[in-house]
Structure 1
């Protein structure tokens, strides 16, 4: 295992980001870990070492992101792996979710990652190597979750720009992968990581039932182990030819297979209509 790689991980104070940073430090990697709250980051990761650089960053502010990338290069001399993990869940049907709530979710889940990519790529492109891992969700492959429309849309966006990124940076020896985690036993389903709409509409019973299921039944019973997810990401980076798309978790794997099967059936079932529009 190459212990000389320098990692840049966003959203590192909790969840998968925290598990990954702890694993990286234990394995001897150099890590720049970001959070919007430096206090939370220091409380979560108490280790003080030459290999660890905690940085408070506002990912929506491009100047803040640029400064964080510069600090990483200044301390470690290079940058090898970028993990865009920061983000949060937004509940609410499309009618309920306000414009502000929707834009804030896209800011955190989409535009923050784009800011990181935009500022990290000059370094990766110059050294002609590196990896960018963008954490989406299995909700970035299927939107069949009532009351999760905006969140799903943001995660679908992560899939789209990662696939394009992979095509764009391949010529520079840089790899890009989008990861679709299923349910992992983190604090993602708590109030700090999951926001509910301010203007709930009682008529949406399916959305309310699914909201209750996530908050009360799924939380604490998720099948995924964050520690094993961290190992999977390490294995991914050490691959000579990593995949552009990676599903994590047996639950996510099943959902992905079911979605692909349904999509194939729907596309094939309407072939005549689909192909009727040619000259």
Structure 2
């Protein structure tokens, strides 16, 4: 199969990394099914009228819309080869400031919405004995040390844990799973945050790396694409190792 014949399904595609990825894929000749809460906003952002682009309006918390969108993508392009779970929210604030409702709402998008996509994408991947799932995370999946981001870190750790187990389950079916830990980039997820200082090229570099990884027969489970996420993971491993040595199992 030629790489450009692969069909990509990308969530959260109306801005940020998702939008950049969709544009790069289309420019390279891939077929792309992209989702957003508003189809009109997505089409306006992508601005591609070719038959290679399919815009889909999806509410990730409603599994019926996820199922319908995946089936529409498969019916339109013949199959689905790569799924990118990019849609996410990033709440900031001390843990005790969040109500149960607010915390659950964030898990609804960052975790359960992603699960809805994966669960139903697997039904397309298993019969064809191939597929690749990219779960977009952040440095918050490397370490929970970020003050004021407890809920976000909890969702990111959940994504990483699910991905590790899913990778083991999916491997016998020829399906790959990769957790992507990028640097910060501008999007509606963080455009109001003073800490978002990354250059626009960061999203472009992340998208390019994912496209390259998807062509590899043995892609990584963890894809570290920023110094911050790499250092956070290293520090966390050292901290765990220190505690294991100081408080050995007896």
Q: Unaligned regions of 5+ residues in structure 1, if any?
A: 192-214
SS at match of 1:3: helix
Deviation sequence 1:197-247 (CA, Å, 0-9, x none): xxxxxxxxxxxxxxxxxx22x223459711110111011111111111111
- 2:220 corresponds to 1:243: yes
CA contact (8 A) 2:129 2:174 kept: yes
Give, in whole Å, the separation in 1 of the partners of 2:94 and 2:210.
32
Deviation sequence 1:42-87 (CA, Å, 0-9, x none): 1211111110000000001000000000100110000000000001
Deviation sequence 1:116-169 (CA, Å, 0-9, x none): 011110110000011011111110121111111011000100001111110001
Give, in whole Å, the separation in 1 of the partners of 2:120 and 2:42.
22
CA contact (8 A) 2:139 2:228 kept: no
- 2:243 corresponds to 1:266: yes
Question: Aligned in 2, Cα 1:133/1:267: closer, same or farther, shift over 3 Å?
Answer: same
The alignment covers a number of residue pairs equal to 249
CA contact (8 A) 2:185 2:196 kept: no
Give, in whole Å, the separation in 2 of the partners of 1:127 and 1:175.
13
Q: Unaligned regions of 5+ residues in structure 2, if any?
A: none
Cα RMSD of the aligned pairs, angstroms, is 1.5
Give, in whole Å, the separation in 1 of the partners of 2:199 and 2:234.
19
- 2:244 corresponds to 1:253: no
**Matching residue of 1:79:** 80
TM-score (norm 1): 0.86
Give, in whole Å, the separation in 1 of the partners of 2:142 and 2:197.
23
Larger radius of gyration: 1
TM-score (norm 2): 0.95
